[in-house]
Structure 1
Amino acid sequence: MRDFTIPLPIARAVLDPVFRVVLNSRLPVAVQRTLLDAVSLLQLMPDGSVVQHLQLGGRPAERIIAEAAIPGSRTRAVPPERAAGAILYLHGGGYVVGSLTTHRSLVARLARESSCAVYSLDYRLAPEHPFPAGLDDAEAAFLDLVDNVGYRPDQICLAGDSAGGGLSLALAQRLIERHQITPAALGLIAPWVDPRLVPDRDRDLVINRPWSLACAAMYLGDGDANEPGYAPLTGKLIGLPPTYVQVDVSELLHDQCTTLVTALRGAGVHVRFTETRGLWHVAQLQAALVTEAALALSELAEFLREAIQPVSIDDLR
């Protein structure tokens, strides 16, 4: 479906009451999930998106590709059948909400702009499945892509937003520590890398302090809050692959992101860092509606594509 754009002030005015209602710690988790799935229907899929339902590591997942490269793409993408890699995408939602449905539009746009196959994982959520269930699922999915789908580890990028960004970082650390394998790159959209930290403000346009604290507690369950898998900002950063971090300056997670970037650079990791102004937490979800969000997502796709460096068949002739 063709995109149509909404001016930033109008988009903010529409989204503010929606997130005030939906991401509310007083609402049952099941209601929050249902409302988010319903609202996500407004996030349009790009033309030419092909969605395949499958299992990865024993969990439901989706593989999304674009049928052909989009003329004029900023990434100069090659057709998907010529791409040499994949992106494993882990959705956000405080480890409590979010789904394949809520992030399908974002994932499809990432597939279009990168010309890679993007695998979106339905990892288990708290409170039914607290830490480390989601991390275990992500690990199993990555290993499935290597052992059964046939990608090399350096052909797979990890990407995610908010809690999914934190989960991506924790997964990269676990893969290096347990399996001595390193993904091609990390693409982190406003990653939540330390749920132990209390936001210093009550809310931004999307998330609020009571909701985030409730999510952190549900995700931890009876676990140890000092476990690096739960708070990957405290884990080992040396040896991580090239990493791109995106965040808006207005977000509650902005300070966490700047702390992460400083720590990554101190550990010798190649980092690209972009701070937007005037957007909101994971505005990339509204890339089909907001030009500025689409540009940010396109830059992320370009970074991941270049990390994988697909080779055109024509270049091999």
Structure 2
Amino acid sequence: MPDVTLPLPVVRAALNPVFRIMLHHRLPFSVQRALMDWGSAAQRAPRGTRVEYVELGGRPAERVTVGQDSDTATVLYLHGGGYTVGSPVTHRALAAYLARETGCAVQVLDYRLAPEHPFPAALEDAEAAFLELVDFGYRPDRIAVAGDSAGGGLSLALAERLRDRHVVTPAALGLIAPWGDPNEVPTRDRDLVVSKPWSRACAAAYLGRGDGSDTGYAPLLGELRGLPPTYVQADVDELLHNQCARLVAQLRAAGVPTEFTETRGLWHVAQLQAGLVDSAAAVTVELGQFLRQALRPARNRSIG
């Protein structure tokens, strides 16, 4: 649990105007990025967090650890932000909580962002990063892939690409409110974090001149059979909840072992505030434990 906790209503009230300003569709993406990086200073990481600046697949990345980490397993983390904003800096605290729970280094990739680099740039970067981790000596089944929002959709697209192009399966997928189909128009104007105009602007920027039916862009439209065990979390009041519920149903129909956590009273990717809110910390711990279990099956079987 966090060292300092704040009442949930207080945090919700404080975040509402922040997100309305920071993620406004009329703001240039460059300004949104700067505001997000600046605001991430309020996200508390656990004690003992260490950050190493590395390169993965030709892109900058942060290797985040807390305490002693495994040298045989790791997590590739793909941050959210509508494919247009966000960075390893904005997700450093969340990565640190996952590193603490898994006992593994969490590698947060600084993949290329739209509109400067539309689809498939982000997917190509994620693919290159995973394959380089394999080249470093990690077995594919000791690499978990996790991400939130757009990064959750990107994680799903990466798993499909690894299966189809490289006959490789990660240890697990950890998906926080994954944006699996950017073609889908929200049925409401906004939730606490995301507005319909902003999400549509991000979807258009990421697609560029691409084809919206491409399953690399919209992995929810792709074949899900053969994917690794998957964890999905979404709050019932967020815009992506119905899409996440549909993904879970399709994963289970495809025979993929799937855990689904539906929260009430949180918000889109509340895990970013795990250092401030007990209930956000709880679902972050839950995801971390899911990934830890997937990454250490051999050790668990050998006990006794």
**Normalising by structure 2, what TM-score?**
0.97
Give the paired residue count.
302
1:157-184 alpha-carbon deviations (Å, 9 max, x no partner): 0000000000000000000000000000
Q: CA deviation at 1:80?
A: 1.4
Q: CA deviation at 1:299?
A: 0.4
Alignment counterpart, residue 101 of structure 1, candidates 89, 96, 120: 89
In structure 2, what is the equivalent of residue 75 of structure 1?
Answer: none
In structure 2, what is the equivalent of residue 80 of structure 1?
Answer: 69
User: Which runs of no fewer than 5 residues in structure 2 stay unpaired?
Assistant: none
Q: CA deviation at 1:280?
A: 0.1
Equivalent residue letter for 1:24? H
User: Which runs of no fewer than 5 residues in structure 1 stay unpaired?
Assistant: 68-78
Q: CA deviation at 1:113?
A: 1.0
Confirm or deny that 1:142 pairs with 2:130: yes
In structure 2, what is the equivalent of residue 178 of structure 1?
Answer: 165
Alignment counterpart, residue 112 of structure 1, candidates 96, 100, 103: 100
SS of residue paired to 2:112: coil
Q: CA deviation at 1:64?
A: 1.0
Q: Distance in 2 between matches of 1:51 and 1:36?
A: 19
Matches for 1:15-34 after TM superposition, within 5 Å: 15-34=15-34
Q: CA deviation at 1:50?
A: 1.4
In structure 2, what is the equivalent of residue 46 of structure 1?
Answer: 46
SS of residue paired to 1:246: strand
Q: CA deviation at 1:3?
A: 2.7
Residues 186 and 243, structure 1, Cα contact 8 Å, conserved in 2: yes
**How large is the Cα RMSD of the aligned pairs?**
1.5
Q: Distance in 1 between matches of 2:236 and 2:279?
A: 14
1:86-111 alpha-carbon deviations (Å, 9 max, x no partner): 10000000000000110000001110
Residues 85 and 310, structure 1, Cα contact 8 Å, conserved in 2: no
Alignment counterpart, residue 217 of structure 1, candidates 184, 199, 204: 204
Q: Distance in 2 between matches of 1:204 and 1:128?
A: 27
In structure 1, what is the equivalent of residue 117 of structure 2?
Answer: 129
In structure 1, what is the equivalent of residue 238 of structure 2?
Answer: 251
Alignment counterpart, residue 265 of structure 1, candidates 242, 252, 256: 252
Q: Distance in 1 between matches of 2:280 and 2:11?
A: 11
In structure 1, what is the equivalent of residue 61 of structure 2?
Answer: 61
Q: Distance in 1 between matches of 2:6 and 2:73?
A: 33
Q: Distance in 2 between matches of 1:105 and 1:129?
A: 26
In structure 2, what is the equivalent of residue 290 of structure 1?
Answer: 277
Residues 84 and 308, structure 1, Cα contact 8 Å, conserved in 2: no
Q: Distance in 2 between matches of 1:299 and 1:44?
A: 18
SS of residue paired to 1:257: helix
Residues 84 and 310, structure 1, Cα contact 8 Å, conserved in 2: no
Q: Distance in 1 between matches of 2:74 and 2:282?
A: 21
Q: CA deviation at 1:310?
A: 6.4
Q: Distance in 1 between matches of 2:211 and 2:297?
A: 40
Q: Distance in 1 between matches of 2:33 and 2:48?
A: 28
Confirm or deny that 1:3 pairs with 2:3: yes
Equivalent residue letter for 2:266? L
In structure 2, what is the equivalent of residue 89 of structure 1?
Answer: 77
Confirm or deny that 1:206 pairs with 2:190: no
In structure 2, what is the equivalent of residue 305 of structure 1?
Answer: 292
Q: CA deviation at 1:45?
A: 1.7
**Normalising by structure 1, what TM-score?**
0.93
Q: Distance in 2 between matches of 1:48 and 1:88?
A: 20
Q: CA deviation at 1:84?
A: 3.4
Q: Percent identity?
A: 65
Q: CA deviation at 1:211?
A: 0.1
SS of residue paired to 2:290: helix
In structure 2, what is the equivalent of residue 73 of structure 1?
Answer: none
Q: CA deviation at 1:311?
A: 6.3
In structure 1, what is the equivalent of residue 148 of structure 2?
Answer: 161
Residues 165 and 189, structure 1, Cα contact 8 Å, conserved in 2: yes
